[in-house]
Structure 1
């Protein structure tokens, strides 16, 4: 059996990186610690990385994740459920979910795992917490990150989690100045609870919008983590 190596991962960074045992030739998983995993599987030219861990300040509003800070600069967060006609509720439903120690109702969403050998720790998704139990939302929605306090950024990459085959129409929208969509990309299918790095390499980004499921349906869920970028 061969171990999954950083060298093997680096060879994959020219495109989409699937963090699964397939790249590791179905080897036994030897997970690295969360501390060692910082920057694991990311573009080395990234200037900043938002990784939703204990070292990343996050503020909350009525239980929802509202702001994350990168080098003391705020990045606003908005997570919204989709309505029946394709528009979105105004209430923020962005949820930080701990894949290192998931609650009993979501025990399968755990990393490291054969589908995501990198320990992802906290990831950003949609849902709400009720005491010690999280209700993850899978009926369509979107998460938006607002980088306007930085001006604009070059977005290098983002890690995507838990996109199943029936959610293949999920996408990201990169929004530039004047609220104009400058690029749209399909989210790769990761499989249930899997994790994938999506290479983006796009300048002029003011907002990142992640849309789960087709706009016209009440289906779709997923999560994001490890946002790699440079300020412009």
Structure 2
């Protein structure tokens, strides 16, 4: 049975496990795809335009924002980042779901857009702040100063937890992933998302339907 694709917002403080969970989702269901952000920063040597980011100049980015072609956008360290609307709408019409790896501000903009009925927002919490710091240190990617900055920012991120549809405490990665799959499965089955359901029920009442499908 046909359905409208979902916009799946995943947010969390750095180190809470969001990226790992998002990657597991795409391995579980390869039809899921990430929203490819647009940015005004220069590409790094290993980055491919259209795959890692849509690279563009500031004038082109501002035009997309002013003309409503960005679902969300922000300025980070002097560069603009945003989520183009058109590929997301195209995926929705095809019944395909898109994952957004964004902070609370990006999530808020998407939830406030015209596509809000199709949004499922999920916030990932760490089991504790000391555990979050331990995970950041264990990654071995950042200096002590950077980790301190991430921890300070995490408190601001966490303060927005109540704005989300679902909140998961990632104290066990496998268990959290199981809950994440359950959320997605249930949201896909919501009555209002299933385009053919009304027609099926009409046929059912008239004696012509014999299989609901999935």
Structure with larger Rg = 2
Instruction: Report the structure, 1 or 2, having the larger helix content.
Output: 2
Q: What's the TM-score once normalised by structure 2's chain length? A: 0.28
Greater length-normalized contact order (CA 8 Å, ≥ 6 residues apart): 2
Q: What's the TM-score once normalised by structure 1's chain length? A: 0.27
